[in-house]
Structure 1
């Protein structure tokens, strides 16, 4: 009986607090500048050194041959843990994080395409709600 009263007290305490969740996609959380979002590649800076593939602990980066004859990194988003080791290892700075963490795919095979790493394809989304 005491346990039930304690549970009722906890429930009553939280009834009068404002909701913690946000109404996505109308509202978005503002995570600040230090968030590690998805990784994009500026192909004009990429020298195909393959250091990013070597340091990836999840083995999510694979290089592929493009039509221009150069090898570029492609990220398997199903394996990527967004650790940022590839961004840190890139000597030219062609790989970088963006603050967009809300990318939606309609097909499971779409996220394996390396074209989504292009900076022109992804734009940051500004948050409307703070975390506090």
Structure 2
């Protein structure tokens, strides 16, 4: 398989989407710099993935050294950080409640469905 872009982000489908606890280390350039609590990994959460509401309250809501739960969505191999999402696991931050977002249960159900489909296909071949 060819890499068409050097800057592409890798979504690690081998490990399902997971929720981590992170500590806010810095707020800059429209993103939060996050350190994972139980490991030495680092993450970034863009303001657009924090809330759909006004961003001028972010520094008062996400204090430095405060702990919050984030959803790990992608790994960025260029910056060596994980991309995080806050509003998917905190629905109160979503303004348009009718918009669909990928959830952990959707990911789990899709994986189960695809595994069953592949098993049936393998049985038909054998």
With structure 2 as the length reference, what TM-score do the two structures score?
Answer: 0.25
| Relative contact order higher in (CA < 8 Å, ≥ 6 apart) | 1
Which has the larger strand fraction? Answer: 2
| Rg larger in structure | 1
